[in-house]
Amino acid sequence: MSVLEATDSITIGDLNFVLRWSDRRKTVGITVDRDGKLVLTAPSDCPLELVERIAEEKRFWVYTKLAEKELLFRPELSLSKEFVTGESFYYLGRNYRLLIVSPSNQPDLRLQQGRFMLRSDIHHCAQHHFTQWYTQHAEPWLQRRVGLFADRLEVTPMRIQVRELGFRWGSCSSGGTLNFHWRTILLPPRIIEYIVAHELVHIHEPWHSPAFWRRLERAMPDFAQRRQWLAENGCRF
């Protein structure tokens, strides 16, 4: 048996765990912290091989718990934005500075020359215009990605909607309608693609079962890395 300190780390497939040994522990337990950190707690005299086997058996359960966390916003960690010149705003994973410009016949809000440009005469309702701009640009982008992954997964969604979803990045209704939060378009493209594929798989598999994760893995072999990134970084967006 390998000898480890009271607290160590262990990797099972694509999952990294903090491993804690405890004299008071009678069984091996797994917890998923709010920030997505994975913790294995085992009795001090438990063979490492047994710990690894239990972690492997619970791998799909861990994926499910991570999915529940990563597809939810953590608003208490989000920073509020000020609509002033120099403030930065995300679009497709990149940061763009805001420039308040004089009233003109240009659109209320536009992305031009590497900057968001907001007319000063509509500054009082800037949040509305940003939400509208993101929604309008998310719709065609998501339509294209849904089409790509729908072919891979051999599914046909009934409808695609971009709207306010509260604390969720996306959802799939029982009738096959895909809903995406307008904030999804702030994320890097490869992470948005993960959310798209995740929701499309729900047309086949309503629950986060082992069959769900196997189907997702076939369409997106590196989904676990993308999922982990979202769990760790999604709250910034």
% of the chain beyond a pLDDT of 90 = 44
- How many Cβ atoms are within 10 Å of 192's Cβ, its own excluded? 24
What mean pLDDT is predicted for residues 179-184?
95
What is residue 5's predicted lDDT score, i.e. its pLDDT?
Answer: 44
Question: Could you tell me the residue ranges of all domains in the chain?
Answer: 7-57, 128-236
Among 101-110, 186-195, 210-219, 222-231, top mean pLDDT goes to 186-195
Residue 209 has pLDDT above 80, yes or no: yes
Specify the CATH architecture of the domain 128-236: 2-Layer Sandwich (3.30)
Residue 130 has pLDDT above 50, yes or no: yes
In the structure, what pLDDT confidence band is assigned to residue 69 with cuts at 50, 70 and 90?
Answer: low
In the structure, what pLDDT confidence band is assigned to residue 189 with cuts at 50, 70 and 90?
Answer: very high
- HSE (side-chain half, CA atoms, 13 Å) at 77: 13
In terms of C-beta density within 10 A (0-12 exposed, 13-18 middle, 19 or more buried), how is residue 195 classed?
buried
Residue 195 has pLDDT above 70, yes or no: yes
Residue 148 has pLDDT above 50, yes or no: yes
Give me the count of residues in the chain.
237
Residue 74 has pLDDT above 70, yes or no: no
Contact 49, 41 (CB under 8 A): no
Q: Which of 198, 151, 159 lies closest to 179, judged by CA?
A: 159
User: Could you give the 3-state DSSP secondary structure of residue 94?
Assistant: strand
| Amino acid sitting at position 206 | P
Query: How far apart are alpha carbons 94 and 213 in whole angstroms?
Result: 29
What mean pLDDT is predicted for residues 174-192?
94
Residue 1 has pLDDT above 50, yes or no: no
Contact 187, 170 (CB under 8 A): no
First-last CA distance in the chain? 44
Per-residue pLDDT of 84-128, as tens digits, reads 999 999 999 999 999 999 988 888 999 999 999 999 999 889 999
Contact 120, 101 (CB under 8 A): yes
